[in-house]
Structure 1
Amino acid sequence: MAQQTPAPAPDALSRAARGWLDHLRVERGASEHTLRAYRRDLDRYLAFLRGRGITAPTDVAEGMVSDFLAHLRTGDDEHQPLAASSAARALVAVRGFHKFLAAEGDVADDPAQQVAPPTPARRLPKAISIEAVERLLDAASVGDTPASLRDRALLEVLYGSGARVSEAIGLDLDDMDLGRDADPSNGSNSRAGASNGDDAPEDAVVRLFGKGNKERIVPLGRYATDALEAWLVRGRPTFAAKGKGTPAVFLNQRGGRLSRQSAWNIIQAAAERADLSGHLSPHTLRHSFATHLLDGGADVRVVQELLGHASVATTQIYTLVTARHLREVYAQAHPRAR
């Protein structure tokens, strides 16, 4: 019987990689999914190093890590080029590997510390037209049931305030002032406010809590206010009677606070009824809120405050959307545009 050739002993790179993965599993409690992803990225990295004659972590220099990142972006005969986001993910594994080795004292320096991930291509926010928004909002109201009143109010608040979905479903009754006398037993704020001649509120506002629990006050228009009042007076009491007295504005049919997934489902169902193609999410209404304000001439700093952005640079992404829209209109309408 022929003797089997013993498998070659693992080199220093393989032993180091195994040590880091064991550390992630035992000390950090990483999931099997995470470990598989890191192992896959490390295997490609180690193969790249060995192909250049490197078999020990102590031989790796910063330039080699940078070369590997460039290699990921260009691809080879065995691998397709990776997008910036995928290459950045692989670099996370490489940087974690070298940081671990440096912390353990296995190497003197961390060669990956100064290698920055590639910048992903800037994705413009997805917004829909005003006409599409109106179709979506109308489609949320099917009959006069408590659920349809809630769904319309939720979508009106998302579009009327630019709230994140987490901010909208996190609203409590005390976070609203609809600017009118109301019966608190129905869930409305009882503080009186001024109204103009056609009974539209002049000072209806909601208090939203954004990222980092940062608070901001945002005005509500007449459509959102009317939809909220209809829900609070004619819909919410029915659901609230089944629950345990939660202060949440938006309730599910068991009387508990509405979840993010339920809010997503509400928008999807309305989008299907409105025959709107493409992926719509609660964030679509936030993007549309900002884009339509800027299209209407609002100052970017005001939109920044309404959205709760810490930096105006984040809000300025929306100006790219409106500029693109202007170019499209110009190209289609001007006789000498092309």
Structure 2
Amino acid sequence: MPAVLDEFAAFLELERGRSAHTQRAYLGDLRSLFEFLEQRVPGGDLSALSLPLLRSWLAAQAGAGVARTTLARRTSSVKTFTAWATRRGLLSADPGTRLRVPKARRTLPAVLRQDQALAAMNAASSGAQQGDPLALRDRLIVELLYATGIRVSELCGLDIDDVDIGRRVLRVLGKGNKQRTAPFGEPAEDALRRWLADGRPAVATSTSGPALLLGARGGRLDARQARTVVHETMSAVEGAPDIGPHGLRHSAATHLLEGGADLRIVQEMLGHSSLATTQLYTHVTVARLRAVHDQAHPRA
């Protein structure tokens, strides 16, 4: 099984162009499936994979309280694997062809109000007033996430050469290795210039490489560190929901649409492959519109 997983990982990376994050998720799903297989079939023979066994595995996951979004991803993981294994001759027939992907329930994401977003940026900026290198970095993290709407993995993957300060744009490598351009405004530019001038040189080491954002020891910033920074910043804003980097992404998209931005422009900025994904944010703005109407209109 380890050799099969290694070969499948190479397929995901080289032929499907999946990110390291997606590879880890898919391989984790398959290890869970193989453990389930070994419990049901002595020796865990791969040829024993069948549609009933796959359905039993997913049912056990659902019974354990796994979220529908996770079940949907695990189903996709298995379907991708069984199709690949069949082509490789590891399976005589593909048991995943009739496996249906559970529909994930789309819930409205928590977003900041525009005044809360401003308060969060001010909180991050006040922490950087003393010139502490990590405080300068933390301000930049919050400013860039909100200004551009990029994912936290995309933020941590940025190199110095990916930033064009003069034009105020980032070159972002997103899902599926798709490259896009994300603009940012003057506050993010100021945070970027201060980090590059006073913050990054103070923590950079000989092993830092070209990474734009660095951890305390000089290595490339980890996504977990970025999430901690955002949560700590939000805790300083009274009444704000406890959101992470993805919440700032949701907030950026929502505020763009509330400001009159075209839906397809927002789609391009966020790197969504489907407009249907971006349309989720229109539901957020409509929900907010209804809430204001209910509160303010005399005939609500």
- TM-score surpassing 0.5? yes
Q: Label 1:304 to 1:39 Cα distance change in 2 as closer, same or farther (>3 A).
A: same
Letter in 1 for 2:137: R
2:156 corresponds in structure 1 to 169
Task: Tell me which of 226, 229, 252 is aligned to 2:215.
Answer: 252
2:243 paired with 1:280:
yes
Structure 2 counterpart SS, 1:116 = coil
2:198 corresponds in structure 1 to 234
Check the 8 A contact 2:208/2:220 in 1, yes or no. no
The CA distance in 2 between the partners of 1:93 and 1:304, in whole Å, is 26
Q: What value does the CA root-mean-square deviation take over the aligned residues?
A: 3.9
Compute the displacement of 1:149 (Å): 0.8
Compute the displacement of 1:244 (Å): 3.1
1:301 corresponds in structure 2 to 264
Check the 8 A contact 1:165/1:263 in 2, yes or no. yes
Structure 1 residue ranges without an equivalent (≥5): 1-23, 44-56, 180-202
1:332 corresponds in structure 2 to 295
Task: Tell me which of 203, 216, 219 is aligned to 2:180.
Answer: 216
Compute the displacement of 1:168 (Å): 1.4
The CA distance in 2 between the partners of 1:306 and 1:125, in whole Å, is 18
Flag the structure with larger Rg: 1
Residues 83-94 of structure 1: pairs in structure 2 closer than 5 A: 84=68
Q: Label 1:35 to 1:229 Cα distance change in 2 as closer, same or farther (>3 A).
A: same
Task: Tell me which of 117, 120, 143 is aligned to 1:156.
Answer: 143
The CA distance in 2 between the partners of 1:253 and 1:90, in whole Å, is 35
Letter in 2 for 1:136: A
Residue by residue over 1:202-228, the C-alpha shift from the partner in whole angstroms, topping out at 9 and shown as x without a partner, is x32121111122221222111111111
The CA distance in 2 between the partners of 1:89 and 1:209, in whole Å, is 22
Aligned length: 263
Letter in 1 for 2:186: R
Deviates more, 1:111-120 or 1:277-286: 111-120
Check the 8 A contact 1:159/1:289 in 2, yes or no. yes
Structure 2 counterpart SS, 1:153 = helix
Check the 8 A contact 2:111/2:241 in 1, yes or no. no
Residue by residue over 1:20-79, the C-alpha shift from the partner in whole angstroms, topping out at 9 and shown as x without a partner, is xxxx68965988754455678x79xxxxxxxxxxxxx9xx9x9x99xx89xx6xx9xxx7
Compute the displacement of 1:269 (Å): 2.0
The CA distance in 2 between the partners of 1:326 and 1:233, in whole Å, is 43
Residue by residue over 1:145-188, the C-alpha shift from the partner in whole angstroms, topping out at 9 and shown as x without a partner, is 11111100111011011111122122222111222xxxxxxxxx
The CA distance in 2 between the partners of 1:255 and 1:231, in whole Å, is 14
TM score, norm. by length of structure 2 = 0.71
Q: Label 1:25 to 1:229 Cα distance change in 2 as closer, same or farther (>3 A).
A: closer
The CA distance in 2 between the partners of 1:229 and 1:333, in whole Å, is 43
The CA distance in 1 between the partners of 2:209 and 2:235, in whole Å, is 31
Check the 8 A contact 1:94/1:112 in 2, yes or no. yes
Structure 1 counterpart SS, 2:106 = coil
- Percent of paired sites with the same residue: 39
The CA distance in 1 between the partners of 2:90 and 2:169, in whole Å, is 52
Structure 2 residue ranges without an equivalent (≥5): 7-26, 42-47
Residues 124-143 of structure 1: pairs in structure 2 closer than 5 A: 124-140=108-124, 141-142=126-127, 143=129
The CA distance in 2 between the partners of 1:92 and 1:39, in whole Å, is 21
Letter in 1 for 2:218: G
1:46 corresponds in structure 2 to none
Q: Label 1:104 to 1:218 Cα distance change in 2 as closer, same or farther (>3 A).
A: closer
The CA distance in 1 between the partners of 2:220 and 2:66, in whole Å, is 41
Letter in 2 for 1:212: G
2:100 paired with 1:116:
yes
1:147 corresponds in structure 2 to 134
Check the 8 A contact 1:246/1:255 in 2, yes or no. no
1:19 corresponds in structure 2 to none
Q: Label 1:87 to 1:164 Cα distance change in 2 as closer, same or farther (>3 A).
A: closer
Compute the displacement of 1:113 (Å): 3.6
Compute the displacement of 1:93 (Å): 11
Compute the displacement of 1:83 (Å): 6.9
Task: Tell me which of 197, 204, 207 is aligned to 2:171.
Answer: 207
